[in-house]
Structure 1
């Protein structure tokens, strides 16, 4: 009798477990309807959501024997939707709570839905990025947006980028034309998606795919899922500006991406959940791996790019390479002309004792010539040891910019003043020098990666602003000069060991930098800060350990990073100088930080979808521009700058 009771109890428990597994097929249904259906088909979980908030999001998914939380995560995909679970209660909500959304669907010219397509919403005035998203496997996208209309730009590997202006709401379907390349009567069409998901993000295969024909590394990145270009900078959607490496070398700007040809790239890894070995201030990392040149002898590659928007832009790249056995000597010459033009209207409202409305029409122009050169070598001793070093010089011989504007000012509803403002800015810089070196090797089962860098830079700008009063305002001229002298040296060591069924990594990273600022201004009755002469020195010592384990189809990664940051502020004079802090070193404005940054991630498959659960701690630190004492004068009502004194409130407007 007892055996029968035990058997019946086990069967009941087994049936209960099975009852909580979901197998469903959803074809173009709303997210709300799918959640309502999931909630009705089981009794273990209570799913809470706002029906209207999720009604616009459409899903097409095949759920096979999944738990309710896993089924919901599979439905979310790339949508800006978050699931929170507390025991048996599940809350599902949209992370971008705007009343309006841009909704559409992407097809190719054969009426097939296009997945993994990047959809960017751009401002109709200046084409700046408002928001973005990625299409699901049914080609659908839903992107929250508060603007009344926006430029919808759709890009995907193997297709010609489409762009058009739409009013906010449901815009229907957009058809992408396939990109073809004619090679001696042979037509090659791009269909195969070169992407694969990993535990840290995704890897895009460039070599042997249509991505290698894009032009430069910057062009490749702009065609990857979740990667966008905003204000000339590369960003990962939802993760901000990434840390970018080319062959383990950390780069500092898009010029390095522009110099690298897409045909020289093997693959690109987009890491959306960086581990303990990376700087805790970054929430994403992009690693570019280049191809190894084949053959021996002297090689030469020349590449030229011409672009015409409102102005002419031109770039030229010359690569020289000599290879003999394990030795690879290379050099690179890069030069270009960059011009910009922007017609802008600003409508601002300032609240205070007096309500002010400021309308401004301005035309912004800039022009720069830039060039750089590098010389380096790689030497492969054998398949276990290799070294290399690179010396690079960047020169900006000519850089000018400025704007012409007309400003009308209303106070409490009455127009009181009108001005014209002619601003001219001349940028100045000395050659920037950058020396890097690396070693990669293996001793027994231990892998070693080391790289170091020394960086020197001196920049500045002289600015002239001439304001002329047209109606009810006085005229004045503002002249300022700013110089920043900086240096940095860094070193990073990573040791990897196989442990059980995974890999253990331990290492350290050290960075020391210094930036000296000198700022002077001809005030003429303004309330701007006067002369400043200060210096910020910072050192960052980090140690980290991480472990990655793979069991069948499940991947587990865990790590811990410790950082000791010391930031010292020095003052040699200027308006911030006083008898109290005349000792040059200002301890009250210097800081020391000690922090631990743990991270844990679990990756597992659900059907054809890989799910990733992550816990991590990050930190946000001010940039050098935010700590700069330089002030850019835009008008008598607007000026911007940093604040080198963290405990003193800034009076920047």
Structure 2
């Protein structure tokens, strides 16, 4: 904290010295009030039109130009797509300047300038949405499904190739749940940035960010949206969501209610090979299913005092009212040293109670002169309890029941402050983020087959950061430095444990350079990040799977430290990226013997070093109403798996191919045909066999887009089967089966007087929320 206070003092000193130079500021928009980037702004002498100074607008349409003191100025604004604009100014605030689109009439044919779909930005890639058929995709979720290097799973979870789960922002607001993406219409989206090298303002664990930029919010009054969904994949599931919002002037209040039911089902065949004092092989088949239904409700309000100052608060409640699971026709055949020793009929039942979970967020976004302030605060409290009964019946081996109880309680308090100020040709950002987390878990086995545990983790993280964003003509740069001090105390049965308790003090630098001109773009980045184990991974519990196999946590896990280099290039609708990561103390899921016994034990362990190379090529040409996206991804790890006891070389190259087809027809009718194929993948000690998925989506809008009917078929050919293998130290595992990914989904949406939310809170402690 002392470091942050010292940095703040230095920052304020810089501000006082920087304010001595007069600076003209302003914002450039089009006729739809959308910010325009890369507009040339030149300051001229109004007497003789002599050149004084020049700049280009940033991604928000804003510009800042230092000028001599004490005279009037003439601004000239030019862009290839718009008519030139001249504006006389006598103060340092030029206000909002509107450019008119330029049209060329040739024999009754209107030709408009065509902007590139892909544009390199600092730290990643920007994809134009409003000027493509992506604007008619449906919702933000549907748009994300079509973006390069972005994959949206059936449950709505989002992943970025080689970078994992991203933080997603709609303007300045952090997306807390996937329903927010469903509420945002694609026609309201201007552009989406996929940032694969996030800077110092983000938590050191964040490896990717998706920033969704929308059109200017319009409309007052009452608006309403209702989504009704039904899915079928042997089991019926679905949801009903109602979103109500009232806006008047600067004030807005909203309410969201989401009632859902879903089924998780598997039909796997498992094989466990344990090479201890004896060679044990367990062949297991157990079909299992669980059904959940619950409620997620959110209420919030916010007020815009003016265009620069906004205040808001939101509260969310989640509760599962029913969550039960069971197995069907489970069996195990056991062999010892090549000889069968018994057959076990195995079934289980589980009952889980989740919630009520509470989350409150508050924010203030404003300006004091040229100083920008972004303050967010978050409080989170959640809990869940699970009871499970496993019954094992055998004529050859002893029969037994295994009863387990698991309870988990988590609390999080967090705050984040970001200050920004224009400095020279860029912006300096400084701030701090503080989090305090408490996690308590209890695990009990009535029969004493596995040990009972009671663990508590108390963790505090104090961070300070600074970064400078600079735009100079076609070049832009971002250099940042983040400091994090973490104190983590671990308790077992109420007693503090020295070994698992940790203290960390780390610096995380980042640097990104980007060049963009016309249809060409180039960007290079270096970032230093960390990945901390989740609180579940740090638990000391041992979960019983069967009498020869357990899985659990590892309280001695250390965080990963990751150094990443990447290079990206783009031309119009074509982009490519290559990158390399070096990870120290990588955390990998593997298996070993449990306390030297003939029992397998799966958990996460640290390994000395791990290298990962990846490359990606994306092409998205346009053919009228048809716009395909071809994507080919490559990755390869470097891990000395054999040196760690594995019997396999796990360094084979991995290839992934996808083809997304979009057809936009008249009368608001859109068709998507998406295909993806993985040629197999090695990661850590695990191997995934080839798999593919063909999906079909039909979307039709009616009544001036008030009604939307969306039919989606996933895994049409039923080829998305799971075939995985783990080759570890004296323990080998395999899994083959189907997870009911083939499904038909129908969603009917009604919109009344829709308008985009003005809530700008980003939340705080977002990385800690993920660990919980």
User: Aligning the two structures, in what range does the TM-score lie when normalised by the shorter sequence?
Assistant: 0.5 to 0.7
Asked if the contact 1:259/1:334 (under 8 Å) is kept, the reply is no
CA distance in 2, matches of 1:259, 1:458: 27
The reply to whether residue 225 of structure 1 matches residue 148 of structure 2 is yes
The CA deviation at 1:214 is 4.3
Pairwise CA RMSD: 2.7
CA distance in 2, matches of 1:422, 1:264: 50
Asked if the contact 1:320/1:330 (under 8 Å) is kept, the reply is yes
After superposition, residues 230-241 of structure 1 pair within 5 angstroms as 232=155, 233-241=157-165
With over 3 angstroms needed to count, the CA separation of the structure-2 counterparts of 1:256 and 1:642, relative to structure 1, is: farther
The CA deviation at 1:215 is 4.8
Q: Which of 438, 442, 453 is the matching residue for 2:378?
A: 453
CA distance in 2, matches of 1:442, 1:536: 38
Does 312-321 or 212-221 show the bigger shift?
212-221
The reply to whether residue 396 of structure 1 matches residue 320 of structure 2 is yes
Asked if the contact 1:435/1:455 (under 8 Å) is kept, the reply is yes
CA distance in 1, matches of 2:240, 2:214: 20
**Cα-to-partner distance string for 1:365-409 (whole Å, 9 max, x where unaligned):** 111112111111121111121111111111111111233422222
The CA deviation at 1:286 is 2.0
The CA deviation at 1:645 is 5.1
Gaps of 5+ in 1: 1-190, 574-583
Asked if the contact 1:519/1:533 (under 8 Å) is kept, the reply is yes
Q: Which of 511, 522, 529 is the matching residue for 2:451?
A: 529
After superposition, residues 27-426 of structure 1 pair within 5 angstroms as 195-206=118-129, 210-211=133-134, 213-229=136-152, 232=155, 233-251=157-175, 254=178, 257-258=181-182, 262=186, 265-289=189-213, 293-404=217-328, 405-426=330-351
Q: Which of 557, 579, 602 is the matching residue for 2:513?
A: 602
The CA deviation at 1:328 is 0.9
User: What is aligned with 1:555?
Assistant: 476
The CA deviation at 1:462 is 0.8
CA distance in 2, matches of 1:300, 1:489: 32
CA distance in 2, matches of 1:288, 1:650: 47
CA distance in 2, matches of 1:205, 1:335: 34
The reply to whether residue 429 of structure 1 matches residue 354 of structure 2 is yes
Asked if the contact 1:311/1:341 (under 8 Å) is kept, the reply is no
Query: Partner of 1:384: helix, strand, or coil?
Result: coil
Query: Partner of 1:219: helix, strand, or coil?
Result: helix
Query: Partner of 2:205: helix, strand, or coil?
Result: coil
CA distance in 2, matches of 1:610, 1:407: 58
**Cα-to-partner distance string for 1:39-62 (whole Å, 9 max, x where unaligned):** xxxxxxxxxxxxxxxxxxxxxxxx
With over 3 angstroms needed to count, the CA separation of the structure-2 counterparts of 1:248 and 1:570, relative to structure 1, is: farther
CA distance in 2, matches of 1:478, 1:259: 44
CA distance in 2, matches of 1:493, 1:360: 53
User: What is aligned with 1:591?
Assistant: 502
The reply to whether residue 613 of structure 1 matches residue 524 of structure 2 is yes
CA distance in 1, matches of 2:544, 2:135: 44
CA distance in 1, matches of 2:336, 2:145: 45
Query: Partner of 1:643: helix, strand, or coil?
Result: coil
Q: Which of 509, 528, 549 is the matching residue for 1:638?
A: 549
With over 3 angstroms needed to count, the CA separation of the structure-2 counterparts of 1:394 and 1:249, relative to structure 1, is: farther
Q: Which of 566, 573, 591 is the matching residue for 2:487?
A: 566
With over 3 angstroms needed to count, the CA separation of the structure-2 counterparts of 1:599 and 1:514, relative to structure 1, is: same
The CA deviation at 1:292 is 5.4
Asked if the contact 1:345/1:360 (under 8 Å) is kept, the reply is yes
Asked if the contact 1:490/1:512 (under 8 Å) is kept, the reply is yes
Query: Partner of 2:510: helix, strand, or coil?
Result: strand
**Cα-to-partner distance string for 1:483-514 (whole Å, 9 max, x where unaligned):** 11111011111111111111111111111110
The CA deviation at 1:585 is 3.1
The CA deviation at 1:293 is 4.3
CA distance in 2, matches of 1:304, 1:539: 42
CA distance in 1, matches of 2:180, 2:407: 24
Asked if the contact 2:480/2:511 (under 8 Å) is kept, the reply is yes
CA distance in 2, matches of 1:533, 1:197: 50
With over 3 angstroms needed to count, the CA separation of the structure-2 counterparts of 1:255 and 1:369, relative to structure 1, is: farther
With over 3 angstroms needed to count, the CA separation of the structure-2 counterparts of 1:205 and 1:333, relative to structure 1, is: farther
The CA deviation at 1:252 is 5.2
CA distance in 2, matches of 1:383, 1:444: 13
With over 3 angstroms needed to count, the CA separation of the structure-2 counterparts of 1:391 and 1:383, relative to structure 1, is: same
With over 3 angstroms needed to count, the CA separation of the structure-2 counterparts of 1:353 and 1:222, relative to structure 1, is: farther
Aligned length: 448
Which of 1 and 2 has higher RCO (CA within 8 Å, sep 6+)? 2
Does 354-363 or 477-486 show the bigger shift?
354-363
Greater per-residue strand proportion: 2
Asked if the contact 1:600/1:614 (under 8 Å) is kept, the reply is yes
CA distance in 2, matches of 1:296, 1:605: 38
CA distance in 2, matches of 1:319, 1:519: 39
User: What is aligned with 1:539?
Assistant: 460
Does 302-311 or 637-646 show the bigger shift?
637-646
**Cα-to-partner distance string for 1:39-88 (whole Å, 9 max, x where unaligned):** xxxxxxxxxxxxxxxxxxxxxxxxxxxxxxxxxxxxxxxxxxxxxxxxxx
User: What is aligned with 1:439?
Assistant: 364
**Cα-to-partner distance string for 1:398-457 (whole Å, 9 max, x where unaligned):** 111233422222223222222222122211122111111111112222211111111111
Query: Partner of 2:530: helix, strand, or coil?
Result: coil
The reply to whether residue 468 of structure 1 matches residue 393 of structure 2 is yes
The CA deviation at 1:560 is 0.4
Greater per-residue helix proportion: 1
Query: Partner of 2:546: helix, strand, or coil?
Result: coil
With over 3 angstroms needed to count, the CA separation of the structure-2 counterparts of 1:230 and 1:421, relative to structure 1, is: farther
Query: Partner of 2:413: helix, strand, or coil?
Result: strand
Asked if the contact 1:369/1:398 (under 8 Å) is kept, the reply is yes
CA distance in 2, matches of 1:437, 1:409: 56
User: What is aligned with 1:627?
Assistant: 538
The CA deviation at 1:230 is 5.2
User: What is aligned with 2:20?
Assistant: none
Query: Partner of 2:200: helix, strand, or coil?
Result: coil
Asked if the contact 1:643/1:650 (under 8 Å) is kept, the reply is no
**Cα-to-partner distance string for 1:509-552 (whole Å, 9 max, x where unaligned):** 1111101112211135x2x222x222111111111111122222
With over 3 angstroms needed to count, the CA separation of the structure-2 counterparts of 1:510 and 1:299, relative to structure 1, is: same
